[in-house]
């Protein structure tokens, strides 16, 4: 018996077994890494403070975390029976679907926009939507991952600020109009007083009468100057001067 040949065969078989074991260990490690990655992603997905969802190329919901379910008022099972188009505010459907179609055509892999969803109870939720697609080896879209941030409170605050600003501008305009009208109404009789005192001063008067009329005329002139200043100030506030 040629033992050297036997040993060679045994050594070759041992090497093959080692290779198989090494490959199996490597595969198992890859599986473990993949499992850890999946668990980590699931943890991020479920515990995220913003709404997270996975949808299909057909616009259906596949997954939604609890934050998004609470935001929209639907359970995951209810969402799976609907498309996200059905939950989108009618005025925002076109903008969202246009971007979605472009992504499906391969023009880009990500888009972001502000849109409104309609809650189950009929309420409106303002959101900032970020959607990105995951493609397979054939460059076809398998799933779409979306993050949905509720910005309803921010929109409400912005609207409150705009409303307060408009009211302040209206109040300023009303004040300006009032000052202009008041100045006009006072200035007309004031001019008459000044004119009459000026004429009266041209007549024969006692020193006491002349002193009285001079004081009236001087006071009327000062008051008219003040009225003109008020009118100019109102014009500056109104942007007319």
pLDDT in tens, 131-182: 989 888 888 888 898 899 999 999 999 899 999 999 988 887 787 777 777 7
pLDDT in tens, 90-130: 999 999 999 999 999 999 999 999 999 999 999 999 999 99
- Which tokens go with 114? 């502000």
pLDDT in tens, 36-73: 555 665 666 677 778 888 899 999 999 899 999 999 99
């Amino acid at each position: 018996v040629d033992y050297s040949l036997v040993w060679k065969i045994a050594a070759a078989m041992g090497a093959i077994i080692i290779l198989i074991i090494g490959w199996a260990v490597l595969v198992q490690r890859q599986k473990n890494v993949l499992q850890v990655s999946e668990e980590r992603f699931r943890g991020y997905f479920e515990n995220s403070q913003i709404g997270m969802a996975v949808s299909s190329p057909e616009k259906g919901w596949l997954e939604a975390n609890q934050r998004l379910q609470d935001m929209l008022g639907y359970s995951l099972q209810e969402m799976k029976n609907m498309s996200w188009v059905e939950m989108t505010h009618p005025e925002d459907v076109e903008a969202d679907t246009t971007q979605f179609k472009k992504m499906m055509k391969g023009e880009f892999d990500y888009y972001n926009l502000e849109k409104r969803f309609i809650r189950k109870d009929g309420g409106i939720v303002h959101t900032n939507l970020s959607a990105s697609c995951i493609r397979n080896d054939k460059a076809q879209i398998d799933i779409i991952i979306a993050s949905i941030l509720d910005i309803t409170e921010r929109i409400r605050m912005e609207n409150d600020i705009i409303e307060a600003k408009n009211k302040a501008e209206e109040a300023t305009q009303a004040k300006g109009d009032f000052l202009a009208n008041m100045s006009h109404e006072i200035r007309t009789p004031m001019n008459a007083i000044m004119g009459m005192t000026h004429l009266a001063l041209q007549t024969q008067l006692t020193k006491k009468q002349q002193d009285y009329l001079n004081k009236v005329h001087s006071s009327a002139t000062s008051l008219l100057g003040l009225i003109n200043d008020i009118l100019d100030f109102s014009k500056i506030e109104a942007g007319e001067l």
